[in-house]
Amino acid sequence: MDKRQFIKTLALTSSFLPLMNSANANAARKKSPKQRLPVALNKGDIVALVCPSKAVDDSLEIQIGKEALEAFGFNVKLGKHLNARRGHLAGADSERASDINDAFADKEIKAVICLGGGSGAARILPLLNYQTIRNNPKVLLGFSDITALHNAIYAQTGLITFHGPNATGSWNPFNADQFQRLFFQRELMHYENVRGNEDDLVQRQNRTATIRGGKVRGELIGGNLTVFTALAGSPYLPDFTGKILFLEDVEEAPYRIDRMLSTLKLMGALDKIAGFIFGACVDCRPNGGYGWLTIEEIFNDHIKPLNIPAYRGAMIGHIRQQFIVPFGGTVEMDADAGVFRLIDQVFKPT
């Protein structure tokens, strides 16, 4: 290419730069939709019980979930395909997705509660009607495999959802109190681990450990680490920039935790976050072999070098007493104290 042709090509390319930048800006806006608040809940409201993942093993599970929600004072509407089955799934993908779409479209329903987790929620993400969800913002509650729904809905609509017990989970006094304070009293929750009933001089249960000290504010995203990283490369993960990432897992060997954090590092996600909270890693025992990295060493390798506030041990995950965390809610975390707190309301004003 001669000099004249080069200058002509450069001028032509430059003329397209504003359009390219505009396209990139539009893509960024699509990736980070405006935060949307769900309608607040009250006793007597109608809530939907849905099953986005695995099938129930016994119809008694549905009855237990329904009774738990009724104990909070709700009227419960069962998803049309709640008792369906296709292999290990609670019905065909289209059936499970339609129950969620119908629940968000139904004006009488004020919340969508997931019966349980398991596996399969990611399969229905392309079938969800995100426009309907955006236009009808309401509470979605669940955890574990429901991580797929939390991330997709927040990424596509900006709607704040809630990572916490499924309907068939443990509704012990701690969890029930969290539910009532957050959803009925609309408290700006302070999330601090409780001390267990231990006959010991020092606290051993529910301990937090600082990975890197400091305070930071940001929107919470995350969930179950395995489900979360399985969404890599899809349009169903939110933008990580300035977010506080919370994670938990169950029955994963440390080498797998290391592999998944490596994935988040390689995709550039960890370099964008402003803070990090790790909850419980239940039964995350090493396998046999030539040795293994400890969970602490894995965090020291992947998280500590980020130089952001970070701690582990929060009461999040597959544990009996667990925080109900607003996915997309704005919090302030203190990694030295091992606490975080809501600083903005997460419900539409009544």
Q: What is the dihedral of CA 24, 27, 29, 30, to 10 degrees?
A: 180
* Position 81, amino acid: H
Between CA 103 and CA 149 the distance in angstroms is 14
Count other C-beta atoms under 10 Å from residue 36's C-beta: 17
Q: Active-site residue 144, yes or no?
A: yes
**Closest by CA position to 308, among listed 259, 263, 241:** 241
Burial 253-274 (b: 16+ CB within 10 A, else e): ebebbbebbebbbeeebbeebb
* Position 348, amino acid: K
Task: Tell me whether residue 88 is exposed, middle or buried, using C-beta atoms within 10 angstroms of its C-beta: 0 to 12, 13 to 18, 19 or more.
Answer: exposed
Reading the block at residue 283, the tokens are 């039964």
**What's the Cα-to-Cα distance from 122 to each of 71, 144, 150, 166, 224, rounded to whole Å?**
30, 12, 11, 17, 13
Between CA 258 and CA 70 the distance in angstroms is 41
Catalytic residue (choose from 144, 150, 219, 252) = 144
Between CA 237 and CA 223 the distance in angstroms is 11
Catalytic residue (choose from 150, 163, 302, 318) = 318
Catalytic residue (choose from 219, 248, 252, 302) = 248
Q: Active-site residue 248, yes or no?
A: yes
Q: Which active-site residues does the annotation give?
A: 144, 248, 318
